Structure 1
Amino acid sequence: MIKRNHALAALLLATAGAMGAIGAQAAEASVKCDLTYSLSGWSILYKHAEGAGMVTCDNGQSAHVKITVVGGGLTAGKYHVDNGKGEISKVHSIDEVFGSYAQAGAEAGVVKSGTAQVLTKGTTSLALAGTGEGVNLGISVGKFTITRE
């Protein structure tokens, strides 16, 4: 019985150590990446936009990227964003930047318009800001996808 209790205690300690390592690894997600991009799109109930950009991380990694935005809602318009900027936080490397981020927003703009929003993908956050031109009006939800070019 005593040997069984020691074995169980050893197993619990090993499991706790592994869980601590996982928690420490998540806490170490301290790489910050910046996104610069241009984007153009349209919406009539369905929202679609495409663009390109560059991701540069403070650990020296960088990549040219393709951006796709799709979604739906009560929207109408046509627009483009030039010299958009994004800040991506809570990643271990550039590989965690790629994928789809949840997006929801309200848009209103005529001729010159601006946008600022925060998107999420798990624990990763993407804060976007940009200015552009076009006409857009409505409320939409969708996804903002970043893929390696």
Structure 2
Amino acid sequence: MIKRTFGMAALVMACAGAMTVLPTSNAQAAEASVECDLSFNLSGWSLIYKHAEGTGTVTCNNGQTARVKITVVGGGLTAGKYHIDHGKGEISHVHSIADVYGDYAQAGAEAGVVKSSTAQVMTKGTVSLAIAGTGEGVNLGISAGKFTISKL
């Protein structure tokens, strides 16, 4: 009887705690309703160490726009040289354009000869960045690193 009562009390307290937390999380998610688009060009190389740089423009649905610098660094089993032209990205769960800047965790697998392509989803806390692009070059491998968006 004591075990059952203790178990029920723990369950009730856990549910009460969850109910207390849920409205706060939903309110924060509702507030982060700004969606931003990233258009970019990027070129880089990799030979175990991966490095790429480029520029782009972030345009948000609240009217904010900014020119940005993009830097990609990392490591892994990669080799190649490439460039991505007219890449596109979607950034979600932001309050304003200020939330776009920073380091996004990146992991991916790349493969291409002459025509090269990439598609990745990255995160920075609750902010998500999905990118896609095509270009030219040779790249092959698996890597991990960071994708950084900073003010230009």
In structure 2, the partner of 1:59 is 62
Q: Residue 41 of structure 2 aligns with which residue?
A: 38
Match status 1:93 vs 2:133: no
**2:84 aligned with 1:81, yes or no?**
yes
Aligned to 1:47: 50
Distance of 1:112 and 1:21 partners within structure 2: 46
Change beyond 3 A, Cα 1:45–1:32:
same
- 1:70 aligns with 73
1:61-88 CA-partner distances (Å, limit 9, x unpaired): 0100000000000000000000000000
Stretches of 4+ moved more than 4 A in 1? 16-23
Structure-1 separation of matches of 2:117 and 2:26: 38
Identity rate, percent: 75
The residue type paired with residue 141 of structure 1 is A
RMSD: 1.7
Letter of the 1:133 partner, please give it.
E
Aligned residues: 134
Unaligned residue ranges in structure 1 (runs of 5+)? 1-15
- 2:142 maps to 1:139: yes
Unaligned runs of 5+ in 2: 1-18
Q: Which residue of 2 aligns with 1:121?
A: 124
> Shift of the alpha carbon at 1:22?
6.3
Change over 3 Å in CA distance of 1:23–1:110 after alignment to 2: same
Aligned equivalents of 1:121 and 1:17: distance in 2? Answer: 25
How far, CA to CA, are the matches of 2:97 and 2:22 in structure 1?
Answer: 24
For normalisation by structure 1, the TM-score amounts to 0.85
CA distance in 2, matches of 1:99, 1:140: 19
Equivalent position SS for 1:59 = coil
**How far 1:19 sits from its partner (Å)?**
8.6
String of CA shifts for 1:66-122, please: whole Å, max 9, x gaps: 000000000000000000000000101000000000000011100001111101111
